[in-house]
Amino acid sequence: MIDRIKKKAEELLRTKQVDLIIGYKRAPDGVSVAPVFIDKAEETKELIWDTYCVYNLSNYLKDFRGRKIGIIAKACDARSIIVLLQENQLKRKDIFIIGVECSGIVDEKKLLSISPQTSELGFDERCRSCKPSKPPIYDVLIVQEGQRPQAPRLEKDPYGSVRKSEAKSISEKFKLWQEEFSRCIRCYACRQICPLCYCPRCVADQTQPSWLSRAHSFRGNFTWNVTRAMHLAGRCIDCGECERACPVGIPLRDINKKIEKDVKELFNYEAGLSAEQKALLSCFDKNDPEDFIR
Q: Which residues contact 32 (CB under 8 A, 6 or more apart)?
A: 26, 52, 108
Binder to another protein among 214, 230, 282, 288 (CB under 8 A)?
A: 214
Binding segment toward another protein, per CB under 8 A, in 3-11, 127-135, 244-252, 264-272: 244-252
**Least gap, CB of 55 to another protein (angstroms):** 7
Residues 48-107, interacting with another protein (CB under 8 A): 55, 59-60, 63
Binding segment toward another protein, per CB under 8 A, in 69-77, 152-160, 168-176, 246-254: 246-254
| C-beta of 172 vs 205, nearer to another protein | 205
Binder to another protein among 92, 216, 278, 294 (CB under 8 A)?
A: 216
**Contact 58/87 with Cβ under 8 angstroms?**
no
| C-beta of 110 vs 153, nearer to another protein | 110
**Contact 274/237 with Cβ under 8 angstroms?**
no
Residues near another protein (CB under 8 A), total: 36
Is residue 207 involved in binding another protein (CB under 8 A)? yes
166-184 as b/e: b if 16+ CB within 10 A? eeeeeeeeeeebeebbeeb
Is residue 115 involved in binding another protein (CB under 8 A)? no
Is residue 259 involved in binding another protein (CB under 8 A)? no
Binding segment toward another protein, per CB under 8 A, in 10-18, 148-156, 208-216, 284-292: 208-216
Q: Which residues contact 186 (CB under 8 A, 6 or more apart)?
A: 214, 216, 220, 221, 224
Residues 162-201, interacting with another protein (CB under 8 A): 183, 185-189, 191-193
**Least gap, CB of 222 to another protein (angstroms):** 15
Interface ranges with another protein (CB under 8 A): 27-29, 32-37, 55, 59-60, 63, 183, 185-189, 191-193, 205, 207, 210, 213-217, 241, 244-245, 247-249
